[in-house]
Structure 1
Amino acid sequence: MTTGPNRILDEFAKLMTDAAGAAQGVKREVETAFRSQAEKVINSLEVVQREEFEAVRDMAIKARAENKALTARIEALEAKLASLAGEAADEASPAASAKPRAKK
């Protein structure tokens, strides 16, 4: 059994060790409470999760690319249709003017 200053120092060291352990426990409790409150706030703000955001972003990028491709295809088809309509009009014009009209 220790006596004197060593006993006081041993008791003080034991007290500090217990206090450090208690402080770590309090730290964990505070962190848990903070995380819980932060999750409640984020959920109440209806913030989108990163995975959902990235999935929608990828879908939007794909839709834009498809939209550009379809726009180019429509423009090509309209140009082809206009050229065919122009050729049909050119062919119809000389034929119509070559026929004499009958008088009534």
Structure 2
Amino acid sequence: MHSQNPFLDEFAKFTQAAMGIAQTAGDEAKTAFRAQADRWAAELDLVRRDDLEVLKAQVAALQAEVAALKAEKSAAPQAAPQAASKPAAKKATPKGDKPAQKGE
């Protein structure tokens, strides 16, 4: 169904062009706003969500490793306290040296 009125054809073309311009202007405004928000976030030293998620995963892995090490430590034999109860060996004096006496 083609319109015979050239005014309506021109009006439709104009409306279509105006919508295209409005779409482009909206995209430009969105890009400018995002750039400004990124600058503000950088000034405030904020962290991006993807960096935060990576850090959360690293923390969870480290917590699991600590739990495993604690379990391994509690399952290990208690040999350390027995070794600590032995008396310490006396220091050997080098040959030719006399041990220090109280009056010197």
TM-score interval, normalised by the smaller of the two chains: 0.5 to 0.7
Is residue 68 from structure 1 mapped to residue 67 from structure 2 by the alignment? yes
Q: Which residue pairs with 2:23 in the alignment?
A: 27
Please give the TM-score of this superposition, normalised by the length of structure 2: 0.55
In percent, how many aligned pairs have the same letter? 16
Size of the alignment, in residue pairs? 78
- 2-structure distance, mates of 1:80, 1:39: 60
Listed as ranges, the gaps of 5+ residues in structure 1 are: 1-5, 89-104
Listed as ranges, the gaps of 5+ residues in structure 2 are: 86-104
- 2-structure distance, mates of 1:43, 1:55: 22
Q: Normalized per residue, which structure has more helix?
A: 1
Q: Which residue pairs with 1:40 in the alignment?
A: 36
Please give the TM-score of this superposition, normalised by the length of structure 1: 0.55
Counterpart selection for 1:18 from 1, 6, 14: 14
Instruction: Work out which structure has the larger RCO, using CA pairs closer than 8 Å and 6 or more positions apart in sequence.
Output: 2
- 2-structure distance, mates of 1:75, 1:42: 48
What CA deviation, in whole Å up to 9, does each residue of 1:39-71 have, x standing for no partner?
321441244334322221221111011110111
- 1-structure distance, mates of 2:41, 2:50: 17
- 2-structure distance, mates of 1:81, 1:39: 61
What CA deviation, in whole Å up to 9, does each residue of 1:59-94 have, x standing for no partner?
1111011110111223334x6137x63xx8xxxxxx
Secondary structure of 1:80's match? coil
Q: Which has the larger radius of gyration?
A: 1
Q: Which residue pairs with 2:78 in the alignment?
A: 80
